[in-house]
Amino acid sequence: MGAHPGYPDLQGFGRREMKLDIQEVYDMVLYQIGAVDSFLKAAGKKLNHVKPHGALYNKASVDPETASAIAQAVFYFNRELILYGPADSCLMAAAELTGLRFCREAFADRTYTPAGLLTPRSETNALIEDETRAVKQVLQMVSQKTVTAVDGSVIPIEAETICIHGDGRSAVKIAAALHISLTEKGIIIKAPAFS
C-alpha cells in the first residue's frame, strides 16, 4: 500500500502543475502521507511506499528543490518508507541524499520522449491503450533495459516496478495481459522490497 500525494488540483486530477513554494510542497506531501497512513492504520494495514502523482511526479523528476521537499517530507514522516520515481531523476538523487530507499519506476501505459521523460498528456501519442503494445514495451524494459521513444529511438531505462494508471480505459486489460505474459516468461511478479 502506498501514498500517492499530488497537487490539490481537483478539476485536473492533479495532472496540472501548480505554483507552490517549496515549504507548501513539503507541507502538502506530509499532510497527504499522514492522511493515507491514518486510514491504513484504521484498516489494520501498513504504509509501504510513497509515489508522487501526476504533475508533482513530473516536476520532481526534473526539479531538485521539489524533489528535495518531497524526500524530506517522506523521511520526516517515516524514514523506512520507499520513495518511487524514475531512475536517474532529481527524485532519485534527493532520495539518496536524504537516506531513503528508492524504487525505480517505469510505465506500461505511457510513451517516452527521446530524453527519457514521459510524453506530455497534451500530445496525442502520450497514452498506450492497446494491451499488446503495453506488454511489448514492458518486456523490452525488463529484458533489454531499454524503451523505444516516440521518435523511434531506443533509450536506456531501468525499472524495479511498473505503473499502470488505474483510471486508464484499458488498465484492467493491460494488467491481465502483463500478468499472463510475464508469468509465461518466468518473470516473478512481486512487490518491491529492500533490506
Bridge partners of residue 112, in order along the sequence: 118
> In terms of pTM, does the model score above 0.85?
yes
CATH topology of domain 1-104: TIM Barrel (3.20.20)
What's the angle, vertex CA 103, arms to CA 98 and CA 109, rounded to 5? 135
Please say whether the beta carbons of 183 and 190 come within 8 A. no
> What is the chain's mean pLDDT, rounded?
94
Residue 172: Cβ within 10 Å count = 12
Pinpoint the alpha helices (H) of the chain.
22-42, 54-62, 64-77, 90-98, 131-144, 171-184
Domain boundaries defined on the chain: 1-104, 108-195
pLDDT tens for 81-106 read: 999 999 999 999 999 999 999 999 99
pLDDT in tens, the chain (195 residues): 999 999 999 888 888 899 999 999 999 999 999 999 999 999 999 999 999 999 999 999 999 999 999 999 999 999 999 999 999 999 999 999 999 999 999 999 999 999 998 999 889 999 999 999 999 999 999 999 999 999 999 999 999 999 999 888 899 999 999 999 999 999 988 887 664
pLDDT tens for 160-171 read: 999 999 888 899
